[in-house]
Amino acid sequence: MKSIHLIAPSGASLDTRSPIAGIEWLQKQGIEVLNVACVDRVDQRFAGSDAERLAEINQLATLSPDSVAVAMRGGYGLHRLLPDIEWSSISKAIKSGLQICGHSDFTVFQLGLLAKTGAVTLAGPMLNFDFACQGEQGEGVTPNAFMWAHFQKAIEDRKLDCTIQAAQPFLRKPASGQASGMLWGGNLTVLAGLVGTPYLPNQQQTQGGILFLEDVNEHPYRIERMLMQLLDAGILTNQSGILLGGFSAYRLYDNDRGYALETAIEVISKRLPENIPVLTGLPFGHQAEKLTLPVGAQAHIQYDVSGFTIHSTW
């Protein structure tokens, strides 16, 4: 990986230190960082005007085939751009070698591109959090080694291999098994918001897929409500496996009276056919330790009550 081309398609940077720290860390690894001016753009809460951000997304189609594009951060903003994104041109660039990585709000671009063209993108690290880790006093903290190793493997080898050792309390019958299918998903809030739109892959595309989900700042009852939406829309029952990553930064209240995230997952799991495994502990989400996952690639999982493995090449 010789260079990274930055894009800022969603929210503006919340502080000036984060992008600078991320850029400096990447440069210390011998990586040239391109299009750094995008991190300074601000238009209301967005990283530039709609026109600026749209132009930057569409310019991805003109990058050299060996380019790696990485989003600065998530937030919100890509939904505004969807009708005018040049999906076909970007897909052609990806098929020629371009790789594009991000998560959170970037889920809407990844799922839109998958729905429209079938092109594979990477759900993985972004500049401001993953490469710009800051301590409580603003001092630099080395980016997570697990994240960095798996990001490099994805970029350089186009390969995902990981074994997750974590008890799996939501398996039913069978309590062990394996499944293969298209790996897809991302941020739960974003994905649920795309139901009924042309930017969510349809049931035929996702039949027998492996769906991964994560979220941040969402109380478990909201997570349950969105999972219910996906269940009632026939999306969850269409899968061969469901992988749950990090659901972080929420607060439980006294009136929850024991209701927790595990409760929400159990309720959903019991409404699914017993042969669809719901696996937890996927290292992905708004957290330092994260995999880089190929959205739209074929993947294979093997699981039992003590954990699971996930493998993909693309």
Task: Catalogue the active-site residues.
Answer: 104, 214, 286
Residue 202 Cα distances to 99, 124, 231, 266, 314, angstroms? 23, 23, 14, 26, 21
Helix (H/G/I), strand (E/B), else coil: 17: helix
List the Cα angle 265/276/273 in 5-degree steps: 85
- Find the Cα–Cα–Cα–Cα dihedral 36, 154, 247, 5, rounded to 10°: 10
Burial of 42 (0-12, 13-18, 19+ CB in 10 A): middle
Outline where DSSP puts E strands in 217-285: 239-248, 278-280
Query: In this structure, which amino acid lies at residue 130?
Result: D
Cβ contacts of 50 within 8 Å, gap of 6 or more: 80, 81
- Give bridge partners of residue 178 from the DSSP assignment: 302
* Closest among 159, 148, 193, 105 to 310, alpha carbons compared: 159
**Is the distance from CB of 260 to CB of 228 less than 8 angstroms?**
no
Give the C-alpha separation, 213 to 93, whole Å. Answer: 27
